[in-house]
Amino acid sequence: MLHQTHIAFYAPIKPPDHHIPSGDRLIAQNLLKAFRICGADVKLASSYIAYSKRHAVEILQERKQGAIVEAERLLAEYSKMNPKDLPQAWVTYHPYCKAPDWIGPIVAAALEIPYITIEAARTGQGGSEDLWAPWRAQAQEGIKKADMHLVFKPTDHAYLQELLGYDETLVSIKPFIDAENMKLEEPFELPESWSNKTPVLVTTGMMRKGKKLENFKTLSETLGKVVADFNLIIIGGGPEEASVRQYFSDISPKQVHWTGQIEHRDVLRWMRSADFFVWPGWKEPIGMVYLEAQLQELPVVAYKSMGVPLVVENGKTGLLSKEDDTSLLAENIAAFIANSDRCKEMGKAGRTTVLEQHGIKAAARRLDETISRLL
């Protein structure tokens, strides 16, 4: 049992208390909660950010040197502690090519404690030249030193199995959320100009370059193929907001409500104001937002892409289409618009499914049983 076990936790992409919201931050926060449900004494070991947006070799060298200095600082602190208060395991969340973990392997080896990764991954960076190859090599060097890997996605399992040459240290765990503590929120009032009979769609995402911007562009193109009437709530903000607004400029301004960047609870309240949630999910690793939407009894329309099918059951809690097939994506949106009863039925099924299969208590039990065996 992990009760009173001292665990050092680290997320090289960004610490769980980072000011910028993201799915990674939410997963890290939920992992900390899950460990505490187990009774573990889990502490954030370091807030050092190894992540880089650019692949330059000089940035890689700078990040690595900074991590080594941070590891030495931690070991100096630990040397002054009572041995019974030292970490008994080191857990690193999401080491990958843009965010290698140099700290965990050093500290775990020095303290002679297990080193554990959660969602160690190989993402799509690279292209034909694979400019991220030096970063990936550094990430893999650390990953190979782990005693256990907790894996969310089949693709990550396959990657790690190929990298390591075995799968004895790989343990599957379902994506999860603090579902038990997420109530049905009170919905916001919709704009007065909107008819109560017109279905309301809601979407949300950070408005920044990369896959987020591509998903907004895809959604705007998809909605352009939907003939039926609808209203749309767009939640979010960011440096590319002007571009996102331009994407949706062909839709009547009377049909679109922009919330801007808002507090998390208000995101959930706007979700409750809608009939269903739509976000293509192109290259979406897991998609915590789909779990949040389903907890607010919203069925989902998305692509059957990467991690989306792990959290949305096609035909039961949402409608998933082949990736890049905007025509089928539009058909699925139209299907929900045309059938409000089906929409509500799948929305209720979504909340039930998330509570039963993706709740934090079930995840805590899984963490407890697997890591306890290792210890």
Residue 20 in this model has a pLDDT that exceeds 90:
no
Residue 123's pLDDT is 76
Indicate the residue type of 265: R
Query: Average pLDDT, whole number, for the chain?
Result: 95
Determine which of 112-126, 159-173, 226-240, 357-371 has the lowest per-residue pLDDT on average.
Answer: 112-126
Residue 88's pLDDT is 98
Residue 129 in this model has a pLDDT that exceeds 90:
no
- How, if at all, do strands 89-93 and 276-278 pair? unpaired
Residue 127 in this model has a pLDDT that exceeds 70:
no
- How, if at all, do strands 300-303 and 276-278 pair? parallel
Residue 23's pLDDT is 85
pLDDT in tens, 32-64: 999 999 999 999 999 999 999 999 999 999 999
Residue 27's pLDDT is 94
Residue 255's pLDDT is 96
Residue 178 in this model has a pLDDT that exceeds 90:
yes
Measured CA distances, 220 to 4, 40, 224, 343 (Å):
50, 45, 6, 21
Which domains can be identified in the chain, with CATH numbers?
6-176+359-374 (3.40.50.2000), 180-357 (3.40.50.2000)
The rounded percent of the chain whose pLDDT value lies above 90 is 92
pLDDT in tens, 271-297: 999 999 999 999 888 889 999 999 999
Residue 99 pairs with which residues in a beta bridge?
96
> Edge-to-edge strand order for the sheet containing 6-10?
41-44, 6-10, 89-93, 115-118, 148-151, 170-172
Residue 92 in this model has a pLDDT that exceeds 70:
yes
